[in-house]
């Protein structure tokens, strides 16, 4: 979608009395949507899913962007303390059951947000994975919420073109070879032949955390 179309759609939702929110991982390529929102309505809540496993650079970058863009950033996290997130052998779940770890730390807290809001503004792009390519600009989510995907038809090239045009800051780990940045234990540097999300959960048959598979109404 073009930026005027995004603005018009958000205004339509608000005119209908719908409550809007978005989530962000605060990676470099996440900044385009955040910057657009900051120019439309800075009161829209931006939720940061604090898993407890983020790179320190990500947490610091989140604070920097919140201040620079004037965003209403809110941290949310799992109701289960990290010391309890272990399997029957006492191992932390990210080592033995990363799907369940993602559910506890990302999917479940976000589903709670869906019970409170009407529209989830979500920055997925169709060029990131086959799952995301199959999505629609508007999709139903659990609890009567609408998923709104304004960046669905944007490419990596258009994302970084916008970043360059508006001189947006870059996540500090970009310069160290990271492209898709999630939790520190499950993220590795990119190899030249890898696709964007292949550096996440490297070596596992996993490219999504559940936010974009479980929180879509079937």
Q: Is the pLDDT of residue 197 over 60?
A: no
Alpha-helix runs per DSSP H in the chain: 3-15, 31-40, 56-69, 93-96, 98-102, 108-114, 130-133, 156-165
Going by C-alpha positions, the residue among 23, 11, 49, 61 that lies closest to residue 149 is 23
User: Looking at residues 66-81, what average pLDDT do you find?
Assistant: 95
**pLDDT of 97:** 86
pLDDT for residue 72:
97
Q: Which of 102, 183, 186, 209 is catalytic?
A: 209
Determine the average pLDDT of the residues in 85-114.
89
102 is catalytic: no
Q: Is the pLDDT reported for residue 170 higher than 80?
A: yes
Instruction: Answer whether residue 190 shows pLDDT above 70.
Output: no
Q: Which of the residue ranges 32-41, 75-84, 105-114 would you say has the lowest mean pLDDT?
A: 75-84
Nearest to 30 by CA among 77, 56, 69: 69
Q: What is the mean pLDDT of residues 65-86?
A: 93
Task: Give the tens place of pLDDT for each residue, 5-47.
Answer: 999 999 999 999 999 999 999 999 999 999 999 999 999 999 9
What residue segments make up the domains of the chain, in order of their start?
3-199
Tell me, what DSSP letter sits at residue 200?
A: B
Q: DSSP assignment of 116-152, as one string?
A: T-SEEE----TTS-HHHHT--SEEE-GGGPEEE-TTT
Q: Pick 93 or 199 by higher pLDDT.
A: 93
The reported pLDDT for the residue numbered 204 is 60
Mean pLDDT for the stretch of residues 93-116: 91
Q: What CATH number labels 3-199? A: 3.40.50.620
Confidence of residue 206 (pLDDT cuts 50, 70, 90): low
Q: pLDDT category, 95, cuts 50, 70, 90?
A: confident
Q: How far apart are CA 139 and CA 162, in angstroms?
A: 26
């Amino acid at each position: 979608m073009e930026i005027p179309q995004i603005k018009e759609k958000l205004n339509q939702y608000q005119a209908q009395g719908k409550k809007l929110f978005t989530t962000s991982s605060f990676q470099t390529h996440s900044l385009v949507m955040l910057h657009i929102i900051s120019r439309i309505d800075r009161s829209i809540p931006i939720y940061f899913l604090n898993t407890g496993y983020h790179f320190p650079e990500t947490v610091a970058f989140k604070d920097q962007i919140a201040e620079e863009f004037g965003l209403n950033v809110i941290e949310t996290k799992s109701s289960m303390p990290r010391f309890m997130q272990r399997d029957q052998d006492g191992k932390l779940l990210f080592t033995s059951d990363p799907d369940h770890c993602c559910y506890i730390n990302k999917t479940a807290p976000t589903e709670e947000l869906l019970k409170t809001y009407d529209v989830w503004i979500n920055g997925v792009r169709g060029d990131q994975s086959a799952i995301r390519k199959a999505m629609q600009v508007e999709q139903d989510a659990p609890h009567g919420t609408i998923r709104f995907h304004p960046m669905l038809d944007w490419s990596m090239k258009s994302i970084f073109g916008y970043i360059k045009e508006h001189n947006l800051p870059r996540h500090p780990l970009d310069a160290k070879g990271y492209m898709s940045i999630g939790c520190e234990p499950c993220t590795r540097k990119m190899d030249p032949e890898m696709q964007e999300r292949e550096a996440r959960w490297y070596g596992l048959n996993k490219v999504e955390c559940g936010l974009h598979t479980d929180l879509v109404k079937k």
